[in-house]
Amino acid sequence: MTDNDTSEPTADLREETAEAAPEVAEHDRIGDLEARLAEANAAALYAQAEVQNVRRRAEKDAADARTYAATAFARDILSVSDNIERALASIAEELRGDDKFKGLVTGLEATAREIAAIFQRHGITRIAATGETLDPNRHQAMMEVPSDQPPGTIVQEMQSGWMIKDRLLRPALVGVAKKGE
């Protein structure tokens, strides 16, 4: 009878645990599934946000590529523009009226106008320099010049500076006023 007495409470205990176990196991399983669902939702939202960021970044890169695709070419053409300006500046006024030079001057001026029109069409603009205050983002000071202008004022432009849209294409090489001695 001793064996039965000890086995009966154990059997009752097993029955109570067996009845409670499915309820606890079911509750744990639901909680686990809810946590996994929350993690999956968070991961899906994160992935969706990442896709939007990648799409926006790609659109911006494509727009920048379209806007600034001609940058290297524009830098190369600036030297052609500079040479045409130098050629026009080197022709003395008395020779400009001479019939022998009239065709040359007219051709150089027409070429300069065409280059200026192309630059304007593509958003390439000249940087103002002479008389402006030195801006290290747009001007490169090459020398200081004694002047009656306030120090830091640009008094001489050695090479024109250019922008393409809102980016620097080439800084202006300038001489800056220095404090008188």
Q: Find the angle CA(104)-CA(107)-CA(108) to the nearest 5 degrees.
A: 85
Overall average pLDDT of the 31-50 stretch: 92
Average pLDDT, the chain: 84
Instruction: Write the pLDDT tens digit of every residue in 119-166.
Output: 998 889 999 889 888 888 999 899 898 888 888 889 989 999 999 888
Neighbour-count burial of 178, counting CB atoms closer than 10 A to its CB (0-12 exposed, 13-18 middle, 19+ buried): middle
According to the model, what pLDDT value does residue 1 have?
47
Instruction: Write the pLDDT tens digit of every residue in 72-104.
Output: 888 888 999 999 999 999 888 888 878 888 888
**Is the pTM of the predicted complex or chain greater than 0.75?**
no
What CATH code is assigned to 124-181? 2.30.22.10
